[in-house]
Structure 1
Amino acid sequence: MYNPQTKFQNIISPIRPDDFFQNYLGRKALHIPGKPDKFSGLFDWADVNRIINTANIWNANSFKLILDNESVAPAEYMPQGFLNVRIVSDYIEKGASVVLSGMETYAEGSAALAASLQAALGGYSQCNLYCSFQQHPGFLPHFDLMDVFVFQIDGEKDWDIFETQFENPMLKPGCHQMSFSREQHAANKGAIEKKVTMKPGDVLYIPKGKYHAAIATSAHSLHLTYGIEPPRALSFIETVVDSLYKDPLFRQEMPHYDDKEAYTRTLDRLAEQLHAHMTGEEARSRFRDGHRSLSLQNIARFQLPDEGIGRNFRVRTHGSLLKRRGKNWQLKVADRETEISPENATLVEWMLDSELFTRAELLNAFATYGTNNCDTLLKLMGEAGLISEF
């Protein structure tokens, strides 16, 4: 699990995480140029060919062809319900872009990037692969429902980032890009705010709702796009509402509509009780726990035949600080301070640098420290709020 190459700190380097969270997340697009080998070995054309040739996993939702701004009807290349590789090949020769979904699960490198993004941003991640060809545009200018991270793997691609940003889009009528016509998008997108040429090793962050479009400028282009979506505020309301049936007050029948005073009294009582449910610690804790589970549940990996999925930990790196105080060290996590002994400081530094790690990786990195000492430190760091197990 621990991979310095896929750490969030490395993904956005040289931008500091606190700078990103304060000035960019949800606010404005960010192009981060990188060395060509920044993500070398994580994902390449060999992965593409291995995955795309696993023909029996594809359906109309996970395998798409886009040719010059138009989606190709799945019936054209899946006439019998599964991929016809000859037809797909013919479309590729015409310049069609190939879009594959589910890349967060099909390769170790792409899965590791998804894990780091989820742990850092607190949302569920989905990854699409885009294989495009020179001067054949894919999608028209549009906006996405979620924050997007683009990793350029091979080739070059020009991106236009437009001025308009739709506020907090979500999959509800009138709140997502499919709710609007091409003409409306063309009128709404605004002027080009930024032009970016993506090269291997580059990362592009696009906040949700921000209009954008792209076109390959090299013979071919390969990039991974990760969409990160934490639960919405409305999700909390829905969670509370879904549990209201347990309260007898919300199972009562309404008074007759002719009795306006009784109707008003009942609605006032319901509103008062709903407020009590929403502000209660039980509902808030349940929703927060569910949010955490959403962002971490699919990160753990099996380690058969040794120990199933083992013990996995996420490190709260953002806002955490370890500094020397006299002979000892002090760890500050949010508003909590914990004294750290000199012999433990090295391990805590390793945790802060790891972002995600397994117990087995900790024991392997500090074999001379001893299993009992490592387990004691894990418990202490959990109590300090630095790490959480999943």
Structure 2
Amino acid sequence: MKSKTNTFLGISFLSSFGDSLLVIALPIGIGVETGDIRIALIAWLVPSLAMFISSFFGKIVKQRKHTERKDYALLLLAISCIEIFFGGLVFVLTEKWSMIILIAGFVFLYAITKEGITRLIYNVSIYKFFCDDENYTKVSGRKAGLDIVAGILGVLMASYLISTGDWRFALIIDALTFLLLSLCLLYVGHDVKNKEAIIGEVENTKKVTSSVKIQIFWVALGMPLLHAVNASYAYFQSLIVERADIMTAAQSVLIMTLLRLPSLIGGFYFERIIKVMSLVRIVSFFPCAYLLASIIFIMYPSMYTMLTTMFLGGISIGLYNPACVNILNSIERHQAVEANIIILRAIGLFQGIACLISMYLYSGEILPTYEVVIVIGMFTILSIIPAKMVVAKFVSKDEQNIASKVEMA
């Protein structure tokens, strides 16, 4: 089992490197080449629609619990083929709007699989294909730490490709890493002996405890909100920094990589950290801290406020993400899918609307300040809606379970 885990961590490291490379190189590369922040935002607006559409695949994913490892592997294989196809075309079609339309088509298909369907359950269950239940927390934390290292290397490579104008190569490199992860799932991973498959519908009677409901509330509140905040400035922060004459986009990307190094400790020692700092504190405190730092940066863009937001962004990778995964793993598979349907739908809506607003706000020569803060405040209030919807779903399930038990008695 240990060899399987190490193989998975090694290949997922390469996959995370490819993800980080693509996520930075594609939008920033387009933005630098065209000189328009709004065009860079297309790389985030299109996935929003894709994620919203993907949420409607939830029922299908929930039913396919017996084949989830193979399904996920085939999804990754599909992404790889799509990237290779579009990666070849983007070298040929260099005219501005042809390239933008091509990239938009690729990003939509990429997001449907990688950012959409994957979020429904596969990003939670993938660890189970390579480790035992008792090592789940440890492996998820180690992967988070490796993701930071991979992210640093990916950003460094992206910075180089952006500076040389060769950002298109990011698609080909990322495609190869997805191909490796797909093969790892197919030939190294093992199927999970899902308790739901053994017990059947009886698992539907399992009650979600009050403490877990609080944790899930914060996950359902924080994840859509963070995506909205990022779409309001963070996704294109390097372009904002360049326009504000703080430093060049390439330099800010390099600094961001250095500020993620401290979060490396959080990932590798995640299992120990959650014994001192509970999961609910992680998923509630860090989003609030990042929200406050973001508002300060938007109001007063400077070297110091930029460094703070980038540091807290790294914390999100090292602690917040594995905390969310472990919380969702603590409930039954079908419950996690139901929660993720609501969360994914909210992420799609929040990020999409925030992107559209940002495309308008950043269309002028002067960087917006109060307007962006008002938008973030609006999304902060709206984020309560998906959080309450998720908790309400579990409350109604518990009431149904109690009623069914009374009838059986």
Q: TM-score, normalised by structure 1?
A: 0.26
In proportion to residue count, which structure has more strand?
A: 1
In proportion to residue count, which structure has more helix?
A: 2
Q: TM-score, normalised by structure 2?
A: 0.25
Q: Whose relative contact order is higher, 1 or 2, with alpha carbons under 8 Å and at least 6 apart?
A: 2
Larger Rg, first or second structure (1 or 2): 1
